[in-house]
Amino acid sequence: MIFSVAPMMDWTDRHCRFFHRSISLRARLFTEMVSTVAVLRGDHERLLSFDEAEHPVALQLGGSNPAHLAASARIGERWGYDEINLNCGCPSDRVREGSFGACLMAEPALVADCVRAMVEAVAVPVTVKHRIGLGRDESYAMVRDFVGTVSEAGCGIFYVHARNAWLDGLNPKENRTIPPLRYDVVHRLKRDFPALEIHLNGGLVDHDQIARAGAGLDGAMVGRAAYDTPWLLAEVDFRYGGAEAPELTRERVIERMVAYSRRQIARDVPLRCITRHMLGLFNGEAGARAWRRTLSDVARLRGNDPDLLWSAYDALQASAASVARAA
């Protein structure tokens, strides 16, 4: 089984991905969704550059014009991405207004044209992330026909968020929690399309749940849980990749991130752009609040000193020791 960290707008930027890669060497990482308009007209260095350590990493594109997607995919391949993923699952208003995201599930022939154009344009895999339906209609036929049509265009890998997208009446956050999870639909897709790679996404929070809900599938994609509790990634390499149990420690991750922060600050990247992704590193551990509080100190962040990470670790240890003494 393959473990992936879901693409998340405003979260899975290059600094977040480097942090996640510092914990797991094998997890499949994704960019935030980047629109074809941005790729074709924007600053490629700002939008697409990433650290070589992030491999394997996929570029997620948003768009519905086959020619634009093909051109964007070529650019992504040139920048070194290992996979090009088409977003057919995001329910936000700004995505819908651009005629892409979850609303594309209603147009499988168009998605097939988009995929075909990208497959012809690049040598790396072209994949699709989507929902299991639209609105309150929970019939299986829609997602079955969508996957069938798109797979015939050359897509062999599908990341399936096991909820419908309710495009009217719910905001994006509500769309991640209110439409019911239906893992059985994803398993049915795998039975009907055994040659395809089917990855389960939606509501997954820990490895035991993944083992239960994802049994028989090809992969699991975790979003908010991986971001909020990133130490979840520390088990990925040996659970899913066959590696030996890791000797990795959180202290070693801090060491890597301090070195990375120094390199980024030399390129005028503010320290806060990196530390904001690291607040959950000690979630569930004694002293975690002191760690978060130190890394959220605006005045100290202004100093742009990567050693703030070690100061936060010292604060965590002091807090944990105080609690232990009080007990």
Quick check: is 111 in a domain? yes
Instruction: Provide CB contacts within 8 A for 218, sequence distance 6+.
Output: 1, 2, 190, 197, 198, 199
Quick check: is 245 in a domain? no
Same-domain pairing of 193 and 295: no
Q: Which residues are part of the catalytic machinery?
A: 90
Residue 47 contacts residue 34 (beta carbons within 8 Å):
yes
Same-domain pairing of 106 and 35: yes
Q: 270: cis peptide before it, omega within 30°? A: no
- Tell how far CA 303 is from the center of its chain: 30
| Residue 155 pLDDT | 98
Residue 27 contacts residue 5 (beta carbons within 8 Å):
yes
Whole-model pTM: value is 0.94
Pairs from 253-261 (Cβ < 8 Å, separation ≥ 24):
253/19, 253/22, 253/23, 253/281, 254/281, 254/309, 254/310, 254/313, 256/22, 257/18, 257/19, 257/22, 257/306, 257/309, 258/306, 258/307, 258/309, 258/310, 259/306, 260/18, 260/22, 260/51, 261/306, 261/309
**Cα–Cα dist 20/37, whole Å:** 28
Domain with residue 269: its CATH number is 1.20.120
Quick check: is 157 in a domain? yes
**Cα–Cα dist 63/70, whole Å:** 10
Quick check: is 271 in a domain? yes
Same-domain pairing of 220 and 285: no
Same-domain pairing of 233 and 121: yes
- Looking only at the bridges linking them, the beta strands covering 197-201 and 219-222 are parallel
**Taking residues 235-245, what's their average pLDDT?**
83
Residue type (1 letter), 171 = N
Residues 187-204: b if buried by 16+ CB within 10 A, e if exposed: bbbbeebeebbbbbbbbb
Q: Over the stretch 85-139, which tens digit does the pLDDT of each residue have?
A: 999 998 866 555 557 789 999 999 999 999 999 999 999 999 999 999 999 989 9
Which has the closest alpha carbon to 95: 57, 71, 129, 127? Answer: 129
**Taking residues 257-278, what's their average pLDDT?**
98
DSSP state of 28: B
DSSP state of 292: H
C-alpha radius of gyration, the chain, whole number:
20
Q: Over the stretch 180-214, which tens digit does the pLDDT of each residue have?
A: 999 999 999 999 999 999 999 999 999 999 999 99
Same-domain pairing of 232 and 268: no
Same-domain pairing of 154 and 115: yes
* Lookup: tokens for 244: 């030996």
Residue 58 contacts residue 127 (beta carbons within 8 Å):
yes
| Residue 156 pLDDT | 98
Same-domain pairing of 61 and 157: yes
* Structural domains counted in the chain: 2
**Cα–Cα dist 3/239, whole Å:** 9
Domain of 186, in residue numbers: 2-240
Reduced to 3 states, what is the DSSP secondary structure of residue 290? helix
Quick check: is 269 in a domain? yes
Q: What are phi and psi of 144, to 5 degrees?
A: -60, -45
Residue 19 contacts residue 45 (beta carbons within 8 Å):
no
| Residue 176 pLDDT | 80
Quick check: is 59 in a domain? yes
Q: Please, which pLDDT band fits residue 223 given cuts at 50, 70 and 90? A: very high
Domain end call among 217, 240, 263 = 240
Domain with residue 88: its CATH number is 3.20.20.70
Domain end call among 215, 240, 265 = 240
Same-domain pairing of 49 and 110: yes
Same-domain pairing of 208 and 297: no
| Residue 143 pLDDT | 98
**Cα–Cα dist 85/8, whole Å:** 13
DSSP per position, 176-228: TTSSPP-HHHHHHHHHH-TTSEEEEESS--SHHHHHHHTTTSSEEEE-HHHHH
Query: Position of tokens 């096991």?
Result: 162
Residue 175 has pLDDT above 90, yes or no: no
**Mean pLDDT for the chain overall:** 94
Domain end call among 213, 240, 267 = 240
Compute the residue count for the chain.
327
Quick check: is 155 in a domain? yes
Same-domain pairing of 177 and 296: no
Same-domain pairing of 58 and 125: yes
Residue 41 contacts residue 75 (beta carbons within 8 Å):
no
Q: Please, which pLDDT band fits residue 293 given cuts at 50, 70 and 90? A: very high
Quick check: is 232 in a domain? yes
> What does each C-alpha distance from 60 to 13, 51, 69, 74 come to in angstroms?
12, 17, 11, 13
Same-domain pairing of 131 and 258: no
% residues pLDDT > 70 (the chain) = 97
